[in-house]
Amino acid sequence: IERGSGTVDAFYHLGKTYAKLAQHAVEKAVSIPLDGIFYHQLVLAKQAQLAGNWSLARRYYAAARRHNGAVREIALELGQVALASSEWVSATTEFQAELVLDPQSYRSHFGLAQAYLNLQETEKALFHLRQALNIRPEFFQPIPSVVIDLPEDKSLQLQEKVRQEHARYGGEAALLSIWLAERLRNPVLSQLSLSDFKHQRKILTDRFASVPLPGQTAQLKQTAESLLKNKRFEEAVRAYTSLQRLNAADHTIHLPLAEALFEIGKHKEASTALSHYLYFFPTDGHALFRLAQCYEKLSVEAFSQISKVDARSYRNHQLLAESLLERSDWGEAVREFQSALAMEPNDSELYFGLGRAYLKAGRISDAAEQFQTALKLDPFDPSVTYSVGLCHYLSREPDKAIHFLRKAVSQDPNLLAAREQLGRLLVMQGQHAEAVPELEASLPVDSDGSLHYLLYVCYRKLQKPENAKAALAASEQIRTRNRELVESKVGEASPP
């Protein structure tokens, strides 16, 4: 790609590779003994959020917050979920909670501006836009999209209020006018407001001149930390890069450098810095989770290039189908995979994707047929092998299921879904000794305590009372935590 020969397949496989790297980083974060559950909840929350399942995303974010309420950005994400669900009051509560943890959170001020705009509280919306612009004017270049769910007559009324406030709120009023003009499909007003806003933004951006960097290590470190705290990410990158040159032996510098690089969209450079940091500190869950986010962003960036290279490529149908799968639209996903296969009938990934869509739709025999075809084209793909075994299990063919699941585990011992399913099946077949290593390996994904309970059953059968006692206690701990989660959600839903 760097040599200028970026084909559709080059960008596609680059995107897939980054997606695999993201998954690998997540699995490492989830396996950390003390923080694994916390990061597992964050991963599940983000997956639900990307799939548009707002209620499930809220549940996992709330569980993560109960696990560690001091971590920043959880309330911010809950605020984004509330915005997407048109729950404006709830959004204001969450964004305000984030500002308690991070008073310089310009994204929270931006979220509050959107929530108050939809609540038709113009002055509050303008106030929080001003705060966001003052903290980080670079965030508004290019102008970000917003959530506005107002009827036309209310938008017109707000537009008039914003016009009246223009003298007091110059750049912020112009920004609100742009969004409202776009909502009202008024290109003339949008263009006028855009010119006004660009002028105001330049004044704010010019305020932040390049910071002179001290030559001494201690003072330079303080300067870098201050720049990062105050969201001057570009200058923070410059400071931490200088600090690296002065003190190359301090590998902790790579983490805040990566944070600053991530914030300004330099995800590749951020991933390099994080990889260096993790070489020396491999059990830092936050760094692993941020690395996964970098790879996820790089994957999306690679995929976005495909339509630019060839808008008619079958890969566009494939990527759309995978997106539809994430949104639980099985029927449309099937149609898109079929469209892709009509253009490229020998791609194992397309048959695998079509099989996944059929499986989600409950069409097990159709799914099995597609998985078998994918397996013939690529017999060494552990995910395909696992899926064939899963279909045999769902078709009540335990012996065949165990055969394929064992094969999938031998192809990739880190495929926890295969190990979990194999462990469950072996217990059902009374093969308790063989089940133990599979169940132990899949414990990081035990969200309901059932895997620990099956381990308890196996240890009892194998006459290992101490192991059985520990497994049962762990199972009860997970179940208790889940009950508390459900009870808290019921309490939140109950009227005072």
DSSP string, 222-281: HHHHHHHHTT-HHHHHHHHHHHHHH-TT-GGGHHHHHHHHHHTT-HHHHHHHHHHHHHH-
> pLDDT at position 200, please?
67
> pLDDT at position 172, please?
76
Sequence-ordered list of residues with C-beta below 8 angstroms from that of 57, at least 6 positions apart, any chain: 45, 46, 48, 49, 77, 81
Instruction: Inform me whether the pLDDT recorded for 85 exceeds 50.
Output: yes
> pLDDT at position 201, please?
65
Q: For the domain bounded by 313-376, which CATH number is listed?
A: 1.25.40.10
> What class is the 32-207 domain?
mainly alpha
The enclosing H or E element of 400 equals: helix 398-411
- Between CA 95 and CA 113 the distance in angstroms is 10
Q: Residue 206: which pLDDT band, with cuts at 50, 70 and 90?
A: low
Instruction: For CATH 1.25.40.10, list the domain ranges present in the chain.
Output: 32-207, 313-376, 380-496
Structure tokens at 3: 């040599």
Instruction: Inform me whether the pLDDT recorded for 208 exceeds 70.
Output: no
Instruction: Inform me whether the pLDDT recorded for 195 exceeds 80.
Output: no
> pLDDT at position 53, please?
72
Structure tokens at 388: 């064939």
Instruction: Inform me whether the pLDDT recorded for 496 exceeds 60.
Output: no
Mean pLDDT value across the chain: 87
Q: Residue 391: which pLDDT band, with cuts at 50, 70 and 90?
A: very high
Across 78-107, average pLDDT: 92
60-74 CB burial, b ≥16 within 10 A, e <16: bbbbbbebeeeeebb
- pLDDT above 70 coverage of the chain, percent: 93
Residue ranges of E strands in 68-215: none
Instruction: Inform me whether the pLDDT recorded for 145 exceeds 80.
Output: no
Instruction: Inform me whether the pLDDT recorded for 448 exceeds 90.
Output: no
CB-CB contact of 349 with 329 (8 Å)? no
DSSP state for residue 495 in the 8-state scheme: -
Q: Residue 363: which pLDDT band, with cuts at 50, 70 and 90?
A: very high
- Between CA 76 and CA 150 the distance in angstroms is 23
- In terms of pLDDT, which residue wins out, 153 or 389? 389
CATH architecture of the domain covering 380-496 = Alpha Horseshoe (1.25)
**CA dihedral in degrees (332, 334, 337, 339; nearest 10)?**
-70
> pLDDT at position 256, please?
96
> pLDDT at position 495, please?
35
CA 61 to chain centre: 12
Sequence-ordered list of residues with C-beta below 8 angstroms from that of 473, at least 6 positions apart, any chain: none
Instruction: Inform me whether the pLDDT recorded for 191 exceeds 90.
Output: no
- Between CA 296 and CA 24 the distance in angstroms is 11
Query: Rg for the chain (alpha carbons), in Å?
Result: 26
Q: What angle do CA 128, 133, 134 make, to 5 degrees?
A: 95
Q: Where do the H-state alpha helices sit in 119-147?
A: 122-135
Rank 27-41, 51-65, 96-110 by mean pLDDT and report only the highest: 96-110
- Between CA 405 and CA 417 the distance in angstroms is 10
DSSP per-residue string spanning 411-471: H-TT-HHHHHHHHHHHHHTT-HHHHHHHHHHTGGG-SSSHHHHHHHHHHHHTT-HHHHHHH
Structure tokens at 392: 């045999």
Global confidence as pTM: 0.73
Across 236-261, average pLDDT: 95
- In terms of pLDDT, which residue wins out, 350 or 34? 350
> pLDDT at position 43, please?
79
> pLDDT at position 147, please?
77
> pLDDT at position 313, please?
92
Instruction: Inform me whether the pLDDT recorded for 492 exceeds 60.
Output: no
CB-CB contact of 370 with 352 (8 Å)? yes
- Between CA 79 and CA 112 the distance in angstroms is 9
Choose the weakest-confidence range: 177-186, 306-315, 404-413, 445-454.
Answer: 177-186
**CA dihedral in degrees (375, 378, 383, 387; nearest 10)?**
-10
Instruction: Inform me whether the pLDDT recorded for 220 exceeds 50.
Output: yes
Number of CB atoms found within 10 A of residue 116's CB: 22
- pLDDT above 90 coverage of the chain, percent: 51
Across 412-439, average pLDDT: 94
